[in-house]
Amino acid sequence: MQYIIIGIFSEKYFFDKYLKITYKFILNPFYDEKITLLLLLFLLTSSLGFSQTTETFDSVAGVWISNAGEPMTTVDVIDATVDFATYGKVGRMITKADGQPWQNAILTKTDFKIDISTTKTITADVYYVGGAIDILGKLAGGVEVNGAHPGTGWSSVTWDFTGRTGEYNTISFFPLKDGTGWIGTDGNTEVREVWIDNITTQNGSVIPSDPATGATDPIARATGDYMSFYNGISSPSGDQYVNETGVTFDSFNGTTIAGDVVLGDGNTVVKYTAHNYSGIGGNSYDVSSKEKLHIDVYFNGAPAEFQLKLESPNGVGGSQAKIIEIAPASGEWLSYDIDLSLFTIANLADLKWIIPVTPGTADIMYFDNIYFYGTAVAPSCTDGIKNGDETGIDCGGTCDACPEIKLPLNFSTANQLFTYNAAGGGGGSVVMENGKMKFNGNGRAYDQAYLDLTTPISLSDKANNTITVTMNPIGVAEGEVRTHLLKFQLDPLSTAAREVKGQSIGSGEQQVTFNFGIEGADTWGRIILFMDFGLDGANEYNGKTNSYLISSISSPGADPVVVQVAPTGAAPTAPARNAADVISIYSKTTETTSVYADIAGIDFPNWGVILGTLLQ
């Protein structure tokens, strides 16, 4: 180690290049050198709390991920392809054109918190080519500031948090900041690739480790007696709760979500590395028949209060925050069962968000076992729920037989209504409206709706393979082309699928055709519609928010499937002929015997048309 003395009250710096820690001391030159040496030894043992850490990504001292609430296309660690000798491995960020302008990447510290109490600046080396840009650096709870980059390659960027203080677990980087605003709008922004290295921060307190175990599992309940948003189990079995599909953990730009974490006992929980307020849900949920909301929370550093809101679409109920606990404990799982009668503003028949609130920003926290429940109600054939031994909603089993669902569809009954899949985003729906099905998009590229047919169809001949969807694209400009995707799956659990695009032009009722060609003898039991799925400028997929009224879905001659029956005997044996008169491709009578001398090496390749099993 080496040091220098500068000035009357000089500063001595000790720098360890392997630990990348700098120790700073103020020395008095009027003291004898021997006394100064003793003072140095004393200061060396007492000043480690003022050290710095530099994240080089060569051996990541934290967790580098995309924010689960505002995701990017790519957040990873790569070898620098420009100036590798200097920078080695770097953190990479690539923004999504159809994402949110405030999408960001998070560096979650795992050793020391970031301390801006004394040293107010955080620095990093950043690579970007494409003109001058702002990169927002955010710690938590609105502690954020822009850093300027010239956009000409590698450059040092400084984030100056003068006027702020405190310790933080994470720093997030937002490459689409534009002064006080943002680049683009939600679902329509810009692609930028930014590299970052040598993120230098002042060390604060030591960060505690994740909890060793998860919360206690919930008691067994019948399917209709609960609605689960999260239980951390990817494939529930037995009495384990099945989660609602498409539940989103949204940061609301007020928190930092690290995502799922597997604990020592194998339990999976959702981890937040900084929290002020956030949203859980995103779709439409009817919890009006439930009595309580259960939620398990673990605070590493507890907030002054733990509050909760329930919110319906358009922010209804968002002004009504209920204090769940003042000064909650830290370092242990806390289980809350909250009476829904406390929430008098939100529409519980159309709930959109559970909103946890930790005023003043909480430290690291975790969620598990988030579900609504109520008094058990016996299943009936009129409760509008698929429960008991029903095979459909209020049909099958001990109820009346379920109606047949097959092409053509004219949406004359509720059983023909598709099920909406928000594809990870909030909003959007599929509803019946005046004898038609209305698809309301949510602006996500892959939002979709599906229907399971009780009578599958075959696409094996020209009489069946062109599907016609009669639709009205509402509010689409005259002459504007919209691309749609129609997809068939063998069944809900199969990955085998066929898909074809079709186009509509402008608004007004029109027929859009999807020609699948000859697709073999397989039968297809699930039909899926992606209403916006075409090129749109720089975006790969539209991700529009328009609505579509769909009158019918039909296929010429789309008859019920005829079961294929294998022949009971072989074809007649070919007559005897002189060998010179015959060129035989296939004339086997047994596995080893042929009528004629078949040409050697004949193969029956599968060129994507034979979808069944070839028997020889």
**Count of other CB atoms within 10 angstroms of residue 508:** 12
Judgement on whether residues 34 and 58 belong to the same structural domain of the protein: no
For residue range 587-608, what is the model confidence (pLDDT) as tens digits? 888 878 888 888 888 877 655 4
Instruction: Identify the CATH number of the domain in which residue 67 sits.
Output: 2.60.120.260
pTM of the model: 0.46
Q: What average pLDDT is seen over the chain?
A: 80
> Mean pLDDT, to the nearest integer, of 192-216?
91
For residue range 526-563, what is the model confidence (pLDDT) as tens digits? 899 998 886 554 445 556 668 999 999 987 654 433 44
Judgement on whether residues 66 and 162 belong to the same structural domain of the protein: yes
The dihedral through the CA atoms of 518, 521, 525, 526 has a sign that is negative
Judgement on whether residues 96 and 162 belong to the same structural domain of the protein: yes
Which of the listed residues 143, 175, 206 is the one where a domain comes to its end?
206
Judgement on whether residues 59 and 191 belong to the same structural domain of the protein: yes
Confidence of residue 385 (pLDDT cuts 50, 70, 90): low
Judgement on whether residues 584 and 464 belong to the same structural domain of the protein: no
Instruction: For residues 103 and 107, give the distance between their C-alpha atoms in angstroms, rounded to a whole number.
Output: 14
Judgement on whether residues 84 and 139 belong to the same structural domain of the protein: yes
368 or 609, which is more confident = 368
Q: Is residue 128 part of a domain?
A: yes
Judgement on whether residues 278 and 266 belong to the same structural domain of the protein: yes
Range of 13-27, 398-412, 439-453 with top mean pLDDT: 398-412
> Which residues, in sequence order, are bridge partners of residue 337?
294
Which of the listed residues 347, 373, 399 is the one where a domain comes to its end?
373
Per-residue pLDDT at 169: 82
Q: Is 461 exposed, middle or buried (0-12, 13-18, 19+ CB in 10 A)?
A: exposed
For residue range 25-69, what is the model confidence (pLDDT) as tens digits? 333 443 333 333 333 433 443 444 458 888 889 876 678 988 877
Q: Is residue 567 part of a domain?
A: no
Judgement on whether residues 241 and 288 belong to the same structural domain of the protein: yes
Query: What letter represents residue 256's amino acid?
Result: T
> How large is the greatest C-alpha to C-alpha distance in the chain, in angstroms?
120
Instruction: Identify the CATH number of the domain in which residue 299 sits.
Output: 2.60.120.430
Instruction: For residues 328 and 305, give the distance between their C-alpha atoms in angstroms, rounded to a whole number.
Output: 7
> Mean pLDDT, to the nearest integer, of 471-475?
93
Report the candidate in 372, 359, 385, 214 with the shortest Cα–Cα distance to residue 281: 372
Instruction: For residues 167 and 361, give the distance between their C-alpha atoms in angstroms, rounded to a whole number.
Output: 11
Q: Is residue 392 part of a domain?
A: no
Judgement on whether residues 234 and 201 belong to the same structural domain of the protein: no
Which of the listed residues 206, 235, 252 is the one where a domain comes to its end?
206
Q: Is residue 523 part of a domain?
A: yes
Per-residue pLDDT at 25: 38
> Mean pLDDT, to the nearest integer, of 218-245?
78
136-139, long-range: CB < 8 A, 24+ apart: 136/104, 136/172, 136/173, 136/174, 136/177, 137/171, 137/172, 137/173, 137/174, 138/104, 138/171, 138/172, 138/173, 138/174, 139/114, 139/164, 139/166, 139/168, 139/170, 139/171, 139/172, 139/274
**Length in residues, the chain:** 616
Q: What phi and psi, each to the nearest 5 degrees, are found at residue 583?
A: -115, 105
Judgement on whether residues 90 and 174 belong to the same structural domain of the protein: yes
Helix (H) or strand (E) holding 270: strand 268-277
Per-residue pLDDT at 20: 36
The parent domain of residue 30 ranges over 10-50
Q: Is the pLDDT of residue 574 over 50?
A: yes
Judgement on whether residues 45 and 65 belong to the same structural domain of the protein: no
Q: Is residue 32 part of a domain?
A: yes
For residue range 270-302, what is the model confidence (pLDDT) as tens digits? 998 878 889 999 999 999 989 999 999 999 888
Per-residue pLDDT at 613: 41
> Mean pLDDT, to the nearest integer, of 119-124?
95
Q: Is residue 212 part of a domain?
A: no
Q: Is residue 395 part of a domain?
A: no
- Domain count within the chain: 5
Judgement on whether residues 64 and 39 belong to the same structural domain of the protein: no
Q: Is the pLDDT of residue 228 over 60?
A: yes
Q: Is residue 378 part of a domain?
A: no
Tokens of 297: 């929370």
